[in-house]
Amino acid sequence: MARIGEVQAPAATRDALARGRLRASLVPDLLVEARRIVNTVIAGWHGRRKRGIGENFWQFRPYVEGDSSRIDWRRSARDDHTYVRDREWEAAHTVWLWADPSPSMLYKSTGASVSKQSRALVLALAMAELLSRSGERIAWPGLTDPFTARNGAERIAAQLMHAGDLPAKPDLTDIRRFCDIVIASDFLDPVEETMEWLDVLARHGVRAHLIEVADPAEETFPYAGRTEFTDPETGEKLTAGRAEMLGDEYRLLYTARRQELAGWCRRLGWSFTVNHTDRLASDALVRLHMAMTADGGYAGSGRTGQPGKAVGA
C-alpha cells in the first residue's frame, strides 16, 4: 500500500541550532503566505473601531437636541444641518496568539497541501497582521508582552525565528480578564488534559477562540492492510495487521473528542473552528472574524465550565 502520510522532520539532525535555522528559513515564507491570505479577507475585516474618547477624527454626524458633543461650525456652515465631530475610541484591545509547536503538528498526508504546523503558524501570523492593521495590541504567550505596532506580524515572526525550543503548552496564567486568545492546535491530547490547561482562561474571564487544525487523513482514517503507526510525541509504534478493522472505532473516538471540546467551548462562550489542511486557511479567518466581532460577552463571570466525561483521542 502506498504511503498516505508522514511526519515532516523539523531538521536533518536533532541539533537545536539546526532546528532553529530551519524555523528561521520557514518563517519568512509563512509570513508571505499569511499576508496573501489576509489580502483575500481584509475587505470584510473592520476591526473594533467605534466612537469614543480619543484624539483622532472618527466621523461627522447630525446634531440632536441635548447632545453633549461640540458642534463643528465649519462643517455645519456647508449646508442647512448642524453637525458634531466624533472622535475615535482609542482603548485598544489585547489579543494573544499561539500556534502549537508540538511534534504531532508536523504531520502531513498526501491529501494535504501543508503540515498542520505550517497551517497553524500561517493562521497566527495572519491574525497578527489583521489585528495590527486594526490598531489592536497583540502578544504571544511565553514570547512577547502585549504591544501595538503596524508591523506586528513581522515582529512576532522575528521573535519566532530566534526563539529556542518552545514549550508544548505555554503558561497562560498572566492572561487577564477582557482579553482574547486565539489558539491553533490539533488538540489531540485527551480532552480532560486540554480542559485542565485552558481552565485558567475561563477562571480569569478570558475569551478564547480555538482553531483545530486537522489533516484529512486523521479524520477519515484511510488506512488498510498491514500498517505501522508511530506516536510523534513518544516514538512508540503500533503495527496493525488489518488497519481497516480499526477505522470505525477510531473515527468514533476522533469525532467524540472534537464534539466534547466544542461543546465545552460553547458553554463558556468561546468559539471553536475546524480548519482542514486540504482547504483554504482563509475559511478559518472568516469564521474567526465573525466570532471575535460578535456581540456576545466574555466568559468573564468567573465561572468554570463543568464538562462531562471527556473522551481522549
In a shared domain, residues 174 and 148: yes
- Give the end of a domain, one of 87, 110, 143: 87
Q: Does 312 map to a domain? A: no
pLDDT of residue 312: 33
- Please state, in angstroms and rounded to a whole number, the distance separating the CA atoms of residues 257 and 190: 8
Residue 103 is classified by DSSP as G
HSE-CB for 147 with a 13 A CA cutoff = 15
Task: State the DSSP H helix or E strand holding residue 160, giving kind and residue range, or none if neither.
Answer: helix 152-162
Query: Model pTM?
Result: 0.73
In a shared domain, residues 166 and 104: yes
CA-to-CA dists, residue 145 to 39, 51, 98, 142, 161, angstroms? 27, 27, 13, 8, 17
- Please state, in angstroms and rounded to a whole number, the distance separating the CA atoms of residues 196 and 305: 10
Q: Which long-range contacts (CB under 8 A, 24 or more apart) does 21-27 make?
A: 23/160, 23/161, 23/163, 24/161, 24/162, 26/118, 27/121, 27/157, 27/160, 27/161
pLDDT of residue 25: 56
Q: Does 299 map to a domain? A: no
In a shared domain, residues 162 and 183: yes
Q: What is the dihedral of CA 149, 274, 259, 109, to 10 degrees?
A: -130
In a shared domain, residues 40 and 54: no
In a shared domain, residues 247 and 111: yes
- Give the end of a domain, one of 34, 67, 87: 87
pLDDT tens, residue order, the chain (313 aa): 445 666 665 533 344 445 445 555 556 666 677 777 766 666 555 455 444 444 455 566 787 776 656 777 787 888 878 887 766 544 568 999 999 999 999 999 999 988 999 999 999 999 998 888 888 899 999 999 999 998 888 999 889 888 877 788 999 999 988 899 999 999 999 999 999 999 999 999 999 999 999 999 999 999 999 999 888 888 899 999 999 999 999 999 999 999 999 999 999 999 999 999 999 888 888 888 888 876 444 333 333 333 333 333 3
In a shared domain, residues 77 and 160: no
Q: Does 1 map to a domain? A: no
Q: Does 250 map to a domain? A: yes
Tell which residue, 167, 212, 223, 196, has the closest CA to residue 307.
Answer: 196
In a shared domain, residues 235 and 250: yes
Residues near 155 by beta carbon (within 8 Å), at least 6 away in sequence: 144, 147, 149
Q: Does 304 map to a domain? A: no
Q: Does 2 map to a domain? A: no
pLDDT of residue 79: 83
Domain count, the chain: 2
Residue 60 is classified by DSSP as E
pLDDT of residue 98: 96
Task: State the DSSP H helix or E strand holding residue 200, giving kind and residue range, or none if neither.
Answer: helix 191-203
Q: Does 282 map to a domain? A: yes
In a shared domain, residues 198 and 139: yes
In a shared domain, residues 23 and 80: no
Q: Does 131 map to a domain? A: yes
In a shared domain, residues 174 and 138: yes
Residues near 249 by beta carbon (within 8 Å), at least 6 away in sequence: none
Residue tagged 466570532 (cell numbers): 291
Which domain, by its residues, includes 81? 48-87
DSSP letters, 220-281, are H----SSEEEE-TTT--EEEESSGGGGHHHHHHHHHHHHHHHHHHHHHHT-EEEEEETTS-H
In a shared domain, residues 56 and 173: no
Tell which residue, 261, 10, 235, has the closest CA to residue 118.
Answer: 10
In a shared domain, residues 139 and 120: yes
pLDDT of residue 15: 45
Map residue 199 onto helix, strand or coil.
helix
